[in-house]
Chain A
Amino acid sequence: MLKLKNMEQTVKIGDERYPKLLKEIGSQAPKKLYYKGDWNDDIFENCLAVVGSRHLTSYGRKITEQFVTEIASSGITIVSGFMYGGDEAAHKATVRAGGKTIAVMPCGIDIIHPHYQEELYNEILEKNGLIISELEGKFSPVYWTYVKRNRIVAGLSKAILIVEAGLNSGSLLTAGHAKKYGRKIFAVPGQITSDVSKGTAKLIKEGAEIATDAKDILKYYNISSVNSNSVKPSLNFGKEEQKIIEQLKREPMEADMLARTLGVPAAKIGATLSLMQLKGFINQESGKYYVN
Chain B
Amino acid sequence: MLIKVLSVVNLGLETVKVDVEVNLANRGLPGFEIVGLPDKAVGESKERVRAAILSSGVDFPPKKITVNLAPADIPKEGSLYDLPIAVGILSSVFQFSIPDKSLFLGELSFDGSLRHTKGALLMALFAKEFGFSNLFVPKDSANEAGAIKGVKVFPVENLTQLAGYFLKRKNIEPVIYKKVLEGLPQPAEFDMKEVLGQEQAKRAMEIAAAGGHNIIMIGSPGSGKTMLARALPGILPPLNETESLEVTKIYSVAGNIPPGGSLLTNRQFRAPHHTASLAGLIGGGTRPHPGEISLAHRGVLFLDEFNEFPHNILEAMRQPLEDGYLTISRSKGRAMYPADFMLVASANPCPCGYLNHPKKNCACNQHQIRKYQKRISGPILDRIDLHIAVQPVDTTEFSDNQKNSELLESSQAIKQRVVLAREMQEKRFEKDSIQSNAQMKNTHIKKYCKLAKDVEDLLRRASLKFQLSARAYMKTIKVARTIADLEGAEEIAISHMAEALQYKQKNYEPA
Q: Spell out A's residues near B (CB within 8 Å).
A: 54-58, 61, 84-85, 114, 116, 195, 254-256, 259-260, 265-275, 277-278, 285-287
Contact = CB atoms under 8 A, between A and B. Distances in A.
Nearest to B483: A267
B200 A259 contact: yes
B498 A270 contact: yes
Contacts of A255: 199-200, 502
Given A271-B498, A286-B511, A278 B199 contact: no
Nearest to B219: A287
Interface stretch (B68-76, B240-248, B313-321, B364-372): B364-372
Contacts of A267: 203, 483, 499
Q: Which of A260, A272, A274 has the most CB of B within 10 A?
A: A274
Q: Which of A114, A116, A255, A287 has the most CB of B within 10 A?
A: A287
Interface residues of B, number: 34
B175 to A, nearest CB: 47
Given A254-B391, A259-B199, 8 more contacts: A57-B511, A256-B197, A265-B199, A267-B499, A268-B495, A271-B496, A274-B498, A278-B461
B462 interface: yes
A287 B502 contact: no
Interface in B463-511: 465, 483, 494-496, 498-499, 501-502, 506, 510-511
B356 interface: yes
A42 to B, nearest CB: 33
Contacts of A278: 458, 461-462, 465, 498
B202 interface: yes
Give the interface SS of chain B, mostly helix, strand, loop or mixed: helix
A85 B511 CA distance: 8
20 contacts: A55-B361, A55-B510, A58-B356, A58-B511, A84-B366, A114-B366, A256-B201, A256-B391, A260-B199, A265-B199, A266-B202, A266-B203, A267-B499, A269-B199, A269-B200, A270-B499, A271-B496, A271-B502, A274-B499, A275-B458
A55 B200 contact: no
The 6 closest A-B pairs by CB, nearest first: A266-B199, A286-B511, A270-B502, A274-B498, A271-B498, A58-B511
A90 to B, nearest CB: 15
Contacts of A85: 366, 510
B198 A286 contact: no
A134 to B, nearest CB: 24
Contacts of A256: 197-201, 391, 393
Contacts of B499: 267, 270-271, 274
Contacts of A274: 462, 498-499, 501-502
Contacts of B498: 270-272, 274-275, 278
Given A114-B366, A266-B202, A278-B465, A61 B495 contact: no
Contacts of B366: 54, 84-85, 114
B389 interface: yes
Interface string B353-364: 000100001100
Contacts of B200: 254-256, 259, 266, 269-270
Contacts of B393: 256
Contacts of A268: 495
Contacts, number: 84
Interface string B177-203: 000000000000000000001111111
Contacts of B199: 255-256, 259-260, 265-266, 269
A266 B391 CA distance: 14
Given A55-B361, A259-B200, A287 B465 contact: no
Contacts of A54: 365-366
B165 to A, nearest CB: 61
A287 B361 CA distance: 16
Given A256-B391, A274-B498, A278-B458, A287 B356 contact: yes
Interface of B: 197-203, 356, 361-362, 365-367, 370, 389, 391, 393, 398, 402, 458, 461-462, 465, 483, 494-496, 498-499, 501-502, 506, 510-511
Contacts of B202: 266
Nearest to A193: B359
Nearest to B506: A287
A248 to B, nearest CB: 16
Contacts of B362: 55
A204 to B, nearest CB: 22
Contact of A285 (B365, B402, B502, B511): B511
A230 to B, nearest CB: 17
Nearest to B370: A116
Q: Which of A259, A268, A278, A285 has the most CB of B within 10 A?
A: A278
Contacts of B361: 55, 195
Given A270-B499, A278-B465, A56 B197 contact: no
Contacts of A275: 458, 494, 498
A266 B458 CA distance: 20
Contacts of A260: 197, 199, 398, 402
Contacts of B356: 58, 286-287
Nearest to A280: B465
Contacts of B389: 254, 287
Contacts of B197: 256, 260
Contacts of A273: 502
A259 B499 CA distance: 13
A136 to B, nearest CB: 25
Nearest to A57: B511
Contacts of A58: 356, 511
Contacts of B501: 274
A34 to B, nearest CB: 25
B125 to A, nearest CB: 43
Nearest to B355: A286
A273 B391 CA distance: 18
A36 B366 CA distance: 26
A118 to B, nearest CB: 13
Contacts of B496: 271
A269 B202 CA distance: 13
Contacts of B465: 277-278
Given A56-B511, A278-B458, A270 B203 contact: yes
A114 B370 CA distance: 12
Nearest to A259: B199
A88 to B, nearest CB: 9
B459 to A, nearest CB: 10
Contact of A61 (B365, B458, B462, B511): B511
A61 B458 CA distance: 28
A56 B362 CA distance: 11
A278 B461 CA distance: 7
